Amino acid sequence: MSDEEVDKKLMQLDIMEKQFDFYIKETSKVDIDVEGIDDDTGGEEIETLNRRVEELFVRYQKDVKAYQELIKEIELHFKNKYGLDLDLQKYK
């Protein structure tokens, strides 16, 4: 892998970390929305919000897997090319 390819992968990691922040913000919004729903009349609203959280969770899991693969590739590159052991496993 070339240094240019590694740079692109590092930029991908940065974008993915912003996506992880988005997931946190969105699930926090859902939590706030759920708190404002009347338990007696809000069953449908709660179900919609639950589906939203499930959707975010599935996307998060997929992104974590891709993120971890990128990390492994980058760590391997630095180990092979420069003899450096990086510990980039932020999301496990």
Query: What are the residue ranges spanned by the domains of the chain?
Result: 3-82
Compute the average pLDDT of residues 22-45.
85
Mean pLDDT of the chain: 89
Query: What pTM did the predictor assign?
Result: 0.81
Tell me, what's the pLDDT at 34?
83
Tell me, what's the pLDDT at 56?
96
- Decide which of 10 and 87 is more confident: 10
The four Cα atoms 27, 92, 86, 72 give a dihedral, to 10 degrees, of -100
Tell me, what's the pLDDT at 1?
83
**Using an 8 Å Cβ cutoff, are 60 and 22 in contact?**
no
Instruction: Give the Å distances, CA to CA, from 88 to 8, 28, 76.
Output: 16, 26, 11
Compute the average pLDDT of residues 24-48.
85
